[in-house]
Structure 1
Amino acid sequence: MNFDFDPETEEMRAMVVAFARRDLGGDGTYRTREEFRRRWQLAGKQGLVGTTVPAADGGSGLDAVAAAGLMEALGHGSPDTGFAFSVAAHLFAACMPIVEFGTGEQRQRWLPALASGERIAAHAITEPEAGSDALNLRTRAVRDGDAYVLDGDKCFTTNAPVADVFVVQAATAPGAGFFGLTTFLIEAGTPGLTVGPRYDKLGLRGSPTADVHLEGCRVPAANVLGAEGAGAGIFSSSMKWERTCLFAVYLGAMRRVLESTVTHVQEREQFGSPIGGFQAVGHRVVDMTLRLESARLVLYKAASGLAAGSDDEVAPALAKLAVSEAAVQLGLDAVQLRGALGILGGEAETLLRDALPSRIFSGTNEIQRNNVARALGLGGRRAPRRR
């Protein structure tokens, strides 16, 4: 085991932190689509939006460990966790399915522009009546000659207001379960595809999110990703990337807030001495550090398995659980240690708001626990004991 990055990756991480501090500041509010795209293109020039896309397809060709390292650096350097979340969602939930399942023509058509920052991708699967129950989609895709006609509604779609291409999951065989879903690549502006107004969210405000409506949307059969009926497998694969590498953004954000919290308790004085010297405060900071370092180890273990080609779905689920729960608690602790200042605008309350959604997206934490329990052989009926 090696717990250190190689020198090249460390150099890239330092460059990402410096870039994020210089160019990605702000509170995550964007007045125009153009303003968001300007920042996106800057991230593209740094190679961040195409980190794991192969070099032959215009990306950097990095593995999951290095990619997680760069996402962690992005979260560490930028106070706008929402923007970092959008970058990671584009890369791991939308680009990687094209990398892993796209035809040569699809890869050539989409990946170079997506990896460079010229274009933005969104993955649309969640529906008003199908969140955790992802195999029970109501969006339908019906074959009509050399095309499919899609009808349905998607919600909570990250990057929808700014996306150039949508990776859309729809049911081609309703009721067929795992083999009933199919994945489509749909270009923005396709007749029948419309995007609703941008959400006003509790957290991750720098990540533009909206509903996607499909009504008689005609998609060429050549835009099917993988094969008909392969949608659930494609989604599962993308979630392994997302539950591992995307959550590295939160590791960086936690590190940034922990560092500022240490500075705060060293400088803030009460009763004639810095509050960091009080045992209750010191122990809370130690617990924050423990949560961060423990979650980090779990995540990089999952990233190492992903880089090695492992099919294990338990490690990504555990990484998602560990990081999201640690981020929420670290945010609460950071607010508490700042006292009244903690409930004003600043890093602590922002981390807490940004961390709360992490227990819901990419599969709720309850679903992750179900998945891990099932992998451990729990949850099924116990065989009757023989007398």
Structure 2
Amino acid sequence: MKLAVVGGGSTYTPELIDGFARLRDTLPISELVLIDPAADRLDLVGGLARRIFAKQGHPGTITTTSDLDAGVADADAVLLQLRVGGQAARNQDETWPLECGCVGQETTGAGGLAKALRTVPVVLDIAERVRRANPDAWIIDFTNPVGIVTRALLQAGHKAVGLCNVAIGFQRKFAKLLDVAPAEVHLDHVGLNHLTWELGVRLGGPTGENLLPKLIAEHGETIAADLHMPRAVVDRLGVVPSYYLRYFYQHDEVVRELGTKPSRAAEVAAMEKELLALYGDPTLDEKPELLAKRGGAFYSEAAVDLASGLLGGGGSPVQVVNTYNNGTLPFLPADAVIETQARIDASGPTPLKVAPLDPMYAGLVAGVTAYENLALEAALHGGRERVFKALLAHPLVGQFEYAEALTDKLIAHNREHLAWA
């Protein structure tokens, strides 16, 4: 089995490698190719990746290349984890929206739109080259904004599934609170990427008893602290929102906070410099502790599970993924991309049925879906007016004056990445 990772020079890749090494029985990789245009980073990451495999006794080979076409040739699955513009572009996404009093974040709001505009054309080009190399290859997208990018891929006819680590993170946290193995925990997880709620926590599968009320009653403070929200939010909702909902539920407070400290991109850039120095140590043969602060916890385990299921292996039969709605949420179009529990096999994901969504959540999901439609149109076809309409439709912007100003700022900060600008 051959896997390729586009963006393999990421400082986060050793987390992925560690998962591949530990879970080799679930996903028996014979060849792994790390692909990245940054040859210097790729050499450091590739060297550590080989040492991790060797230490854990993994028999597979790891190669590195800056040649995308050569790297994806004959791959059974291709993982996308790229960042167009690097941390410098992310830093801009997280700062210039604050000038208009809007949240600065890399996956939602104006910053998230900027990332989508930079990313979608690049991902679609990569996907076409993957299809030419092997039309049967699965594309697993971890590149944000996952919902928009996955829809772009599916709309273009690619065999693609979107993946996020939010659900598996919740699963692990709830399992710890319940003192059970993570595999025993089933989540009633529904919404859009970075706009989801845990409506139930069940043991043994979708029909198990819902233990979420008990968890909130007994561990509400711990759950709320993880979300960086007041416990009253969790208590009054009676469900557990993704921590990304804080940008909606506490928007103005978050804007004030972000204006008083360095951007997350600046923190990550400093961390990456330190990580790359560690990776260059020829004696290092495991992921360093510092990597845990980089973000993306449990991504490797989710990626192994999903790839195994898609390739006919032993992955979990039910997993949280981003895929076409196809009637799962009846108030959304069939071709909207939602994030929910789905049965995974070699034919792809099939979403499980979900209970009717409370209007309080359904309204926000519908509104953000409308924004994502407009965002994808802007990413595919360009134009200032399309950018403006997407921003005006976003619940975190929503005002004419802000949308006008943010449109100009977005284009000015991203001109080098926008072919039409």
TM-score (norm 2): 0.28
Larger relative contact order (CA 8 Å, sep ≥ 6):
2
Greater Cα radius of gyration, structure 1 or 2: 1
